[in-house]
Amino acid sequence: MSAFLQATIYGLLQGGLLALVAVGFSLVWGVMNVVNLAHGGFVILGAYVGWEMHQWFGLDPFLGMFVAAAVMFVVGYALQRLLINLVINGPIFITLLLTFGLDLMIVQGMNLVFSADYRSIRTSYASQSLALGSVRVPLGRLLAFSLAVGITLILVAVMNRTRTGMSILATGMDRGAARLMGIRARHVYALTFGIAAALAGMAGAMIGTVGTFNPSAAASFTLMSFVVAVLGGLGNMYGALVGGLVIGLVQAWGGQYLPGTWVNALAFLVLIVVLIFRPTGLVGRKYYAARLEV
């Protein structure tokens, strides 16, 4: 029972982080219909910014992640404004390939600059843990979880309540109509991509604190974002949060009770089953799953 509880706690904590990793991915997909294969690259890039801040300025990673967010926002805004907007009306393969090319450049660039060694942002408190009865809660993960969930909720509020957020959602629903209302679609798209990159960067800095990372980990974060975004569903800002927590739990329980590395197949099994039986995801809106690509 205690092993089950421990796995559950661990799964929830991991799930919160996964939600923050995937929420930007889900936002970009929902608003622009772009599946960003470089998303995992953004996460790792954020982790390196956090690492550098900690290394050179002694900045605590939970503060450094805001620097990472700022840097990644600028990178994301510029990429969308100058590059991805050029092909946004093309068939789906085009944006997929463009972001794949970006991913190759980002990952290989990081390999050249930072080398392929595993790194971790070490703090004095992250490895300590709280004991709740027989269950141990790692402090760093708890902090990361709380921040991740908090930031996701703030994003939801910003999207639904501010003018900027609503203009992003409106552009996602009907770009033509939004432009007629005076919304600058180019700017709004760039803003959306920038926000997504910033969130990915923040998540990266936290991942660097609670675990290790290197450039080639980028691909697995892109895949996890896929799974979480599909499972949660598009068109609902809570989708990524629900999807992340479910996947976190499924993986933790699978790791506890399945032999070998079968747990790795579990996330994909969940993905395929959800796609076949409920393509709108757990809390997504029908419109987004039924939408055909331009």
Partner 1 sequence: MPTLTKVPQKRIFSTLQGDQARRLRPWALGLVVLLAALGLQGQLYSGQERTVATIFMFVALAQAWNLIGGFAGYASFGQVVFFGVGGYFTAVAMSHWHFNFWTSLLLSGFVSALFAVIIGIPLLRLKGHYFAIATLGVAEGMREVVTNLTDLTGGGAGITVPTVGSNATTAYLGNDGFYQLFLGLAVLSVIISGLVARNKFGYALRAINQDEDAAAALGINTNRMKVLTFALSGFITGLVGASYAFQQVTIFPERLFDVDITVLMIIMVIIGGSGTVLGPLLGAVALQFLSEFLRQNFTNLHTFILGAIIIVAVVLLPQGAVNYVNEARRTKEFSLLANVRKYRL
Interacting residues with partner 1 (CB under 8 A): 29, 33, 35, 83, 85-94, 96-98, 100-105, 107-109, 112, 185-186, 189, 219, 223, 226-227, 230, 260-262, 264-265, 268-269, 271-272, 275-276, 279, 289, 291-293
Q: 138 or 254: whose CB is closer to partner 1?
A: 254
* Max CA separation in the chain (angstroms): 60
Cβ-proximal residues to 207 (8 Å cutoff; 6+ apart), any chain: 17, 21, 43, 47, 144, 213
The least distance separating partner 1 from the CB of residue 30, rounded to whole angstroms, comes to: 11
How far is CA 47 from each of CA 27, 178, 269, rounded to the nearest angstrom? 21, 35, 29
DSSP string, 33-46: ----TTHHHHHHHH
In the complex, least distance from residue 104 CB atom to partner 1, rounded to whole angstroms: 3
Identify which of residues 30 and 208 has a Cβ nearer to partner 1 in the complex. Answer: 30
What is the C-alpha to C-alpha distance for residues 276 and 294, in angstroms, rounded to an integer? 23
The enclosing H or E element of 135 equals strand 135-138
Cβ closest to partner 1, residue 177 vs residue 275: 275
Which residue type is seen at 137?
A: V
Long-range contacts of 251-256 (CB under 8 A, 24+ apart): 251/11, 251/14, 252/7, 252/8, 252/10, 252/11, 252/14, 253/4, 253/7, 253/8, 253/11, 255/7, 256/3, 256/4, 256/7
* Of residues 117 and 293, the one with the C-beta less far from partner 1: 293
| Phi, psi dihedrals of residue 213, rounded to the nearest 5° | -150, 155
> For residues 23 and 149, which CB has a smaller minimum distance to partner 1 in the complex?
23
User: What's the rounded Cα separation, in Å, for the pair 64 and 57?
Assistant: 9
Indicate the residue among 17 and 38 with the shorter CB distance to partner 1. Answer: 38
Looking at the Cβ atoms of 59 and 223, the one nearer to partner 1 is 223
Comparing CB distances to partner 1, the nearer of 1 and 292 is: 292
Closest distance to partner 1 from the beta carbon of 287 (Å): 14
CA 239-126-72 angle, 5° bins:
50
Q: 68 φ, ψ to 5°?
A: -60, -40
